[in-house]
Amino acid sequence: MEKKLSVLIIEPYFDGSHKAFIEAFCENSQHNTRLLSMPARKWKWRMRGSAFEMAKRLSELKSQGHGFDAIFCSDMLNLAELKGICPEANVPSVIYFHENQFTYPNQIKDKRDFQFGITNLSSALAAEKVLFNSRYHLEDFLSESEKVLKKMPDFKCLEILGRIRDKSQVAYPGICRNIESRIPFRDVPQISWAARWEHDKNPEDFFLAARILREQGYKFRMNVLGQSFANAPAIFNQAKAEFADVIENWGFKESKREYLEVLKGSDIFVSTANHEFFGISALEGAAAGCAAAVPNRLAYPETFNNSELLLYGSSAEDLAERLKSLIADKGLREKNAREAIDIAAQFDLRKTANLIDYELLNAVLL
């Protein structure tokens, strides 16, 4: 790289996939990076108020003699507000959209507050470069933004969407490159489902498909992984009792190593998500050697290369049919797993870091 930059990374919601992404970028970036972060609590308040805290910290850094060539932040920051209240933040900036608040699923019965999506729009306008974790996400955000702007009684400002599109690009977040691929050949396969224990990950379809398999006499073991919260869907408690005799692993793994060990010991990885902008857990399962069964919707056709072998229809019944084939036919399972391994290998974190480095440099040179 011709020039090394001093890059300030701002992440108001530093946990989970956001944390893993930032840590991987810092490890692989050629620039000099410094991180300002806040714990991942009360996301709405983080979006409303993190700019105030970050403005204070930036002022403190300036008083200590620190300066920066560029800012790299996530969609959880109100970048336009930060630039408006903090002179030190008026440097070239690149924003990364893990999600957006126009199309991120609401909790059941919640009424959507469009202001959080408007914050995303303002931040995208304030940045020199806008990165999305998939083409599906980019198009989804711009499409929904247009619908919301058209709701305005007048002065709809639809032209801003073209400005955002012109400076937007896809930068897949990538996955850990050190995942060992191991394809098991069990007569009774282990099926893994791994996601946040929330309604948008649609656990009901997974457990319904598992119930269909049991009723029709198919043998399998089960791993149900992921972080749970106080308002986790009731289906998890019900399923834990119903499938107690076939459960191998249940719940959150405290370390990435433990989590990957479960995946490496699995035969099949399943997603049933109704919301997914990339699909890190499914790709990690694929990299570990699992046959993949992911729904033909959202970002999955993009990340899994529109593979008929890896994508199933859209319903629990479609999933059950795919799982029957994978359980009964070891050859099909191996063919699926080998294709999944090849696809996962394309999403190297180093490629992502190089692309972000390049876009940060471009932003500075604009």
The per-residue pLDDT for range 270-295, each reduced to its tens digit, is 999 999 999 999 999 999 999 999 99
Which of 70, 74, 179, 160 lies closest to 121 in space, CA to CA? 160
Residue 138's nearest CA partner among 172, 111, 105 is 172
CA 117 from chain centre, in angstroms, equals 18
Say if residue 198 is in the same domain as residue 78: no
- 218 domain-assigned: yes
- Backbone phi, psi, residue 265, to 5°: -90, 5
Q: Which residues of 213-234 are buried (b: 16+ CB within 10 A; e: fewer)?
A: beeeebebbbbbbbeeeeebbe
Alpha-carbon gap, residue 33 to 366, rounded angstroms: 20
Indicate whether 116 and 238 sit together in one domain.
no
Integer CA distances (angstroms), 249 to 32, 183, 366, in order: 40, 19, 51
Interstrand relation of 70-74 and 93-97 (parallel, antiparallel or unpaired): parallel
Mean pLDDT of all residues in 85-110: 88
Residues 212 and 273 in one domain: yes
The reply to whether 160 and 129 lie within a common domain is yes
Spatial neighbors of 238 by CB under 8 A, at least 6 apart, are 207
Higher-confidence residue of 230 and 243: namely 243
Task: Name the β-bridge partners of 35.
Answer: 9
Q: Are residues 26 and 122 in the same domain?
A: yes
3-state secondary structure of 189: coil
**For residue 104, what is the domain's CATH number?**
3.40.50.2000
Instruction: Determine the structural domain holding residue 160 and report its residue range.
Output: 6-174+348-365
Percent of the chain with pLDDT over 70: 98
Q: How many domains does the chain have?
A: 2
Distance CA 71, CA 66 (A): 13
pLDDT at 1: 54
Same domain, 212 and 93: no
Q: What is the pLDDT of residues 168-215, one digit of tens each?
A: 999 999 998 788 898 988 999 999 999 999 999 999 999 999 999 999
Q: Say if 129 falls within a structural domain.
A: yes
| Token output for 126 | 């304030």
The CA-based angle 163-169-172, given to 5 degrees, is: 150
Asked whether residue 1 is assigned to any structural domain, the reply reads no
If asked whether residues 16 and 161 sit together in one domain, one would say yes
Residues 157 and 281 in one domain: no
Looking at the fold, whether 157 and 265 belong to one and the same domain comes out as no
